[in-house]
Amino acid sequence: MQLDLSEREAEETVQLAGCGPIRMAGGGELAGPLRQLAYERIRSAGQIARVDLARVLDVSPATVTAVVSELLAAALVEEVEGTARPGARGRPPVALRVRGGAGYVIGIKLAEFKHTAVLTDMTGTTLASSTLPRSAHARSLKAVLEEAARLVDDVTARAGVTRDQVIALGAGLPGLVDHPEGRVLWSSVLEGEDVALAHRLTERLGIPAWIDNDTNLLTLAELWFGRGRMARDFAVVSIEQGVGMGLVLGQSLYRGAHSLALELGHTKVQLDGALCRCGQRGCLEAYTSDYALVREAHTALELGSHLQLSPQMVLESLHDRAKAGNEGARNIFRRAGRYMAAGLANVINLFDPSLVILSGERMQYQYLYAEEVMREMGELIVGRGRRPPDVAVNTWGDLVWARGAAALALDIAAQKLAGRDAA
Ligand SMILES: [Zn+2]
């Protein structure tokens, strides 16, 4: 097993100070004691003066002074020189910001071909990252725990942080994950069913661990670090091996009754249609995902069966040929794009989000959001004169999933440090 360390940082992080959702009118307010709410507001602002903190929390200056004193005494926040107000005289006011070194969190993405991990401080700044290549088959629980431990050892060593300074760990993986119970009902990367993975990670690593479906983590990455920070309601659609979806309503991740992921990929776009890997027919995924394209490419491109091409190589070859003007290859992408348009229009018709973010590692295949796909999507949206939502494409690097896992851990860490758990 070889550790391949990735230096690649998020390439398209939206340049706003702080991290975490920027609370806005109509957004869901976080529950928790005032001290925790104050901490979260300071974190999302980057830095903020006491007077502004009182305003956004809608409490008196005296209350803010008391709460901030507690946070300062616990060394969770620190004072910095603020920015002078235009036209104001004298010294700039003192501002508050979260103290990065008050604690650390780790986010891990467990995937079929490689695992990734990041270690961040309490401001959400990534201090170290690590990538662990692996073969594409399900592993035993013991092997997965071992791989997670390797990643934790690596990122802590790189950041110069000890394990006992790490407050929380978030981990994401594909499949059916029960987030509140910390159980993996089924995953392509882990053998067995109904595995108490969060508990076993906590036990093995000595760090309190939480798990979630990987698409939810991608959505959290957008909510905490990306374009979703300023959006009240938005959907994230990821196109990789499958088609996943995460939904944020009122600035909170929507988890549904069973806390499983939203299976956009298995909504039906064609009755009695193509066979999907879930065993049913006509799923969106059966027309748009990697394996669907690879299946069609083999027929259309007459790839010799003697050639041992990986699915990735087949996809790249298909993409190259489409770009070079090969009609057969273009038609495959066009068809996938049309189904994608139908899938996206369904999401918009159901949830009316202000923003749809297409995210994941495969967004280089521009057919998925080509102009004609967007036009077709617009035509499939119901509502006279209704303006389609903004569709954004995020092509940030493969650490985005691990950063989403870190966001999950940062949320827990804030509760532990400043919330009820700290009282
Ligand atoms: Zn399916």
Q: pLDDT tens digits, residue range 311-369?
A: 888 888 888 888 898 998 899 989 999 999 999 999 999 999 999 999 866 666 677 77
Q: Using the mean position of ligand 1's atoms as its centre, give its distance from the Cα of residue 345 in Å.
A: 18
Pairing of strands 94-98, 48-49: antiparallel
Q: Using the mean position of ligand 1's atoms as its centre, give its distance from the Cα of residue 274 in Å.
A: 9
Q: Using the mean position of ligand 1's atoms as its centre, give its distance from the Cα of residue 278 in Å.
A: 4
Q: Using the mean position of ligand 1's atoms as its centre, give its distance from the Cα of residue 391 in Å.
A: 25
Could you count the other beta carbons within 10 Å of the beta carbon of residue 261?
25
| Burial class, 291, CB count within 10 angstroms (exposed 0-12 / middle 13-18 / buried 19+) | middle
| Separation of alpha carbons 260 and 178, rounded Å | 6
Q: Using the mean position of ligand 1's atoms as its centre, give its distance from the Cα of residue 346 in Å.
A: 16
Q: Using the mean position of ligand 1's atoms as its centre, give its distance from the Cα of residue 111 in Å.
A: 20
pLDDT of residue 5: 29
| Burial class, 260, CB count within 10 angstroms (exposed 0-12 / middle 13-18 / buried 19+) | middle
Tokens of 44: 């999302």
Q: Give 169's contacts (C-beta < 8 A, 6+ positions apart).
A: 105, 106, 107, 108, 152, 201, 205, 207, 208, 209, 210, 409
pTM of the model: 0.88
pLDDT of residue 303: 66
Q: Percentage of the chain with pLDDT > 70?
A: 91
Q: Which residues of the chain have pLDDT under 50?
A: 1-14
Q: Using the mean position of ligand 1's atoms as its centre, give its distance from the Cα of residue 107 in Å.
A: 29
Q: Which helix (H) or strand (E) holds 380?
A: helix 371-380
Beta bridge partners of residue 106, listed in sequence order? 119, 169
Tokens of 10: 């998020």
Q: Using the mean position of ligand 1's atoms as its centre, give its distance from the Cα of residue 277 in Å.
A: 6
Q: Which of 224, 163, 240, 230 is nearest to 402 (CA)?
A: 224
| Separation of alpha carbons 382 and 64, rounded Å | 47
Encoded amino acid at 142, one letter: K
Q: Using the mean position of ligand 1's atoms as its centre, give its distance from the Cα of residue 264 in Å.
A: 9
Sign of the Cα torsion 217, 223, 225, 228 reads: positive
Pairing of strands 166-173, 234-239: unpaired
Tokens of 135: 């073969």
Degrees to nearest 5, angle at CA 69 with 67 and 70: 65
Q: Using the mean position of ligand 1's atoms as its centre, give its distance from the Cα of residue 262 in Å.
A: 12
| Separation of alpha carbons 146 and 17, rounded Å | 36
Q: Using the mean position of ligand 1's atoms as its centre, give its distance from the Cα of residue 403 in Å.
A: 28
Residue with tokens 């010799």: 304
pLDDT of residue 92: 74
Could you count the other beta carbons within 10 Å of the beta carbon of residue 195?
20
| Separation of alpha carbons 351 and 385, rounded Å | 17
pLDDT of residue 25: 62
Residue 259 has φ and ψ, to the nearest 5°, of 55, 25
Q: Using the mean position of ligand 1's atoms as its centre, give its distance from the Cα of residue 263 in Å.
A: 9
Q: Using the mean position of ligand 1's atoms as its centre, give its distance from the Cα of residue 276 in Å.
A: 5
Residue 229 has φ and ψ, to the nearest 5°, of -60, -30
Q: Using the mean position of ligand 1's atoms as its centre, give its distance from the Cα of residue 8 in Å.
A: 33
Q: Using the mean position of ligand 1's atoms as its centre, give its distance from the Cα of residue 78 in Å.
A: 50
Question: How far is C-alpha 32 from the geometric centre of its chain's CA atoms?
Answer: 23
Q: Using the mean position of ligand 1's atoms as its centre, give its distance from the Cα of residue 242 in Å.
A: 9
> Residues 188-213: pLDDT tens digits?
899 999 999 999 999 999 999 999 99
Q: Using the mean position of ligand 1's atoms as its centre, give its distance from the Cα of residue 246 in Å.
A: 17
